[in-house]
Amino acid sequence: MQAGGFSISMVSDISIIRGTVSRVLGFIKSRVNLKEEMEYDIKLILNELLLNAVIHGNRYCRDKRVDIKLDILKNGKMMLAVNDQGEGFSYPSYQHRRPILDPEQEGGRGLNIIQALSDEVRYNKKGNRVTVIKTLEDKRA
């Protein structure tokens, strides 16, 4: 494992998400020997974060960008921040509602998935920047 940082920015277009996810993954894999399940978790987290940024944050507005900042820390964790240029939302009150995971229900699964697969999820006050902390490598191993 090698500590380091990476930034990438994308236009608000759903079709660009796949390529962006694979570039971020490429950076992580150049620094960390990722297990297959870990790679899958990160892909899921990033995909949901970027979808939310494009759809709910920037509302598909191509003039608005989504910025991704990744830091691989010496303690074996990654810190991933996704910033959109939208209005934001109230994450604390969203969490308070505790959405039910109804398979019939179309939306509302993204944040649950992100929460379940991350050590820690933080939003800024405005609600347009989310920071995810996730352990990539067990330093005791």
Contacts of 68 (CB under 8 A, 6+ apart): 7, 8, 9, 10, 20, 24, 46, 50, 80, 81, 82, 83
Q: How far is the CB of 32 from Mg ion (least distance, A)?
A: 26
- Report which residue's Cβ sits closest to ligand ADP: 110
Residue among 56, 72, 73 nearest 64 (CA): 56
Which option in Mg ion, ligand ADP, none does residue 64 bind, with CB closer than 5 to 8 A by kind?
Answer: none
Of the candidate residues 12, 52, 83, 118, the single one contacting ligand ADP (CB under 6 A):
52
Contacts of 103 (CB under 8 A, 6+ apart): none
Of the candidate residues 111, 121, 132, 136, the single one contacting ligand ADP (CB under 6 A):
111
Residue holding tokens 């109804």? 102
* Polymer length in residues for the chain: 141
Q: Closest CB to Mg ion among 17 and 72? A: 17
Which residues of the shown chain bind Mg ion in the complex (CB under 5 A)? Answer: 52, 110
Site residues for ligand ADP per CB under 6 A: 48, 52-53, 56-57, 84, 86, 88-89, 94, 107-111, 127-128
